[in-house]
Amino acid sequence: MEPNQSRHAGDNRALIVRPIDVSERLRFDEELERSHWLGGGLVGEVMRYIAVVDGEWAALIGFGSAALVVKARDNHIGWSEQQRWRRLRYVTNNQRFCVLEKHRRPNLASEVLSLALRRLSVDFEERWGHPVVLVETFTDPARHRGTCYQASNFTALGRTAGFARRAGHFTHHGAQKVVWARALRRGALGMLTSDFDHPFLDPSRRAVVTAIDLNRVDLDGADGLLARLEAVPDPRMKRGVRHRVAPILGVAALATLRGAKSFNAIGDTAAELPQEALRRLDMRVSPRTGKFIAPDSSTIRRTLNAIDRNAFDEIVGSWLAEQVSAKRLGKERDDKRSSSKEPDDNDPSTDLAAIAVDGKTLRGARLEGGGQVHLLSALTHQEGVVVGQRDVDGKTNEITEFAPLLEQIDIENVVITADALHTQREHAKFLATKKAHWIFGLKGNQPNLAAAAAQLLADQPTVFETHEKGHGRTEHRYFRVAQVPAALAKELDFEEVTQVIAVERERGDLADRMISEETSYYVTDLAAGQAGPKQLARHIRNHWGVENRGHWVRDVTWDEDRSTVRTGSGPQVLATLRNLAISLLRLAGFTNMAKGTRWAAWTPDRALGLMGL
């Protein structure tokens, strides 16, 4: 007998309780609206279950977010208001429970409830990213006594005060309900009331955390980052030059680490640096006073506008790429991946390393003629480190810069992810010469391939799904995968393609009512033995993380989109300095860049320490 099924005494029919499939969502909601006295209306982090007897639906049970304030429940748990706000999501509410008329029999309700509760926490964690440890529910004593809850080991805690919360306000309706609760795990109340979060409540804390040791990163030394900056060519006339390029770039990097957003801000930071910091940055010594001198804002502006921006980008990017390829970053993951006979679809640590290629326009940097600076970047999925960047000339587009961007990076056995613009046969052939893999978006620029993908995926079942709640909405993703026959790939003149993927995205409001839906298609050269459905899904999902981990951080923390620097190399050089700052802060363990810049700004020693000085 399966763990989520039972048999009633004298009845040989098996009872199975399971979450609904995506195709059953509409039927579930319609049946609940028709059969339950409260109708539909599940709210919050929702789980929908059906009880099935001989292939027929026998009962519907729905869980959603817990009530914000319930005096009887809160007294039972014993938590403070702050603890309630922080841990309420670990409590769920059985918002609807309906046994269908045709299948009613003694004890069926308590059996269905017990089977659902047996799997509820695991299902909740899989769908919403966290477990639940307590279930609450309310019953109307005028309609029923809650016998099935009592039989399923729920405890009656008291009665509500007769208020309902609507549109952020409490209104009195006078209909008091009985409050019931049941712990799903031993020690649940202690988890909800402890001073520190229990590891069970945070799945990420139960996993093995890969620590990045900044001491393993080659910052100093003959081949360190600072020594590499000496190789940036100096375009200035030798006569009258007082400050070398490398120290100017050093002070610019330090200021950017501390949150500087402009040439003037970099100059202000340099002007207030103490003598010890200037010494460590190898600044010029005044022959008159014998003290170290910082470059002023005008010197910094002229120098950064004049240097070879692509040479500076290549030096910084290649150094960061070496840290990744030398396994100074994420070494534990790479060792685990290389020692595994085949990828573990359920273990992210066995995924191949991946790099996202994506472009960004600097919206504030208007060039002569009205054009804008556009940069194409390569950012590692796991570390969030920019390992390459190219300026996309206004006379061309991202396609022509794809190969030059990746040419200088060691991408052997690395997955390159990119949007549909880069679904090009030439790109696939280039990556094959680099012994790299790829996942590309698929749209109308490849009509024959897109039509074939849609046909191959039409009858494929959902093989993996994810569910998230945040920013005032819910989002559900359903993944389908199909193999591409070699003969078809050859016919399409895209022989490298081995699999196609469809991602159906449903967005809803907090009541999980659908707002929008869309389907996106992807192609890859990864065979099924190299990446399973979950691994493909993680690579696709992580690709769009470049927006949050790169572009969004530069816009929000360093206000890049409002920067009006527009002449010479300035826009790209400042973007490279921001990429370097983000990478150094991430190497130091910061996930919040605003917090990292505040930390680095407290004293020059902190930023200098990150730079190896």
In degrees to the nearest 10, what's the CA dihedral of 449, 451, 456, 457?
110
pLDDT digits (tens, 9 = 90+) for 165-175: 665 556 666 67
pLDDT digits (tens, 9 = 90+) for 292-315: 999 999 999 999 999 998 889 888
Give dist(CA 237, CA 257) in Å, integer: 29
Rounded mean pLDDT, 109-130: 91
Q: Report the mean per-residue pLDDT for the chain.
A: 83
Q: Taking Cα atoms as reference points, which of 217, 438, 411 lies closest to residue 327?
A: 217
DSSP string, 305-338: HHS-HHHHHHHHHHHHHHHHHTTSSSHHHHHHHH
Which of the pair, 333 or 229, is modelled with greater confidence?
229
Counting Cβ atoms within 10 Å, is residue 581 exposed (0-12), middle (13-18) or buried (19+)? Answer: buried
% of residues, the chain, pLDDT over 90: 35
Give dist(CA 475, CA 453) in Å, integer: 24
Instruction: Provide the token pair at 366.
Output: 């208007």
The pLDDT confidence band at residue 7, using thresholds 50, 70 and 90, is low
Residue tagged 């999980």 (tokens): 512
pLDDT at 10: 47
229 C-beta neighbours (distance < 10 Å), count: 20
Report how far apart, in Å, the C-alpha atoms of 435 and of each of 326, 416, 430, 438, 533 are.
17, 11, 9, 10, 22
pLDDT beyond 90 at 547: no
pLDDT at 497: 93
pLDDT at 148: 92
Instruction: Provide the token pair at 393.
Output: 């000339």
Give the least confident one: 22-36, 482-496, 542-556: 542-556
Report how far apart, in Å, the C-alpha atoms of 230 and of each of 247, 361, 589 are.
9, 29, 27
Give dist(CA 116, CA 130) in Å, integer: 17
Which DSSP state fits 557?
T
pLDDT at 338: 47
pLDDT digits (tens, 9 = 90+) for 367-387: 555 567 788 888 888 888 888
Which of the pair, 241 or 148, is modelled with greater confidence?
148
pLDDT at 583: 84
pLDDT digits (tens, 9 = 90+) for 46-104: 999 999 998 899 999 999 999 988 999 999 999 999 899 989 999 999 999 999 988 88
The pLDDT confidence band at residue 604, using thresholds 50, 70 and 90, is confident
pLDDT at 222: 53
Domains of the chain by range and CATH? 5-203 (3.40.630.30), 214-308+580-610 (no CATH), 340-562 (3.90.350)
Instruction: Provide the token pair at 575.
Output: 């973007």
Residue tagged 């790299």 (tokens): 436
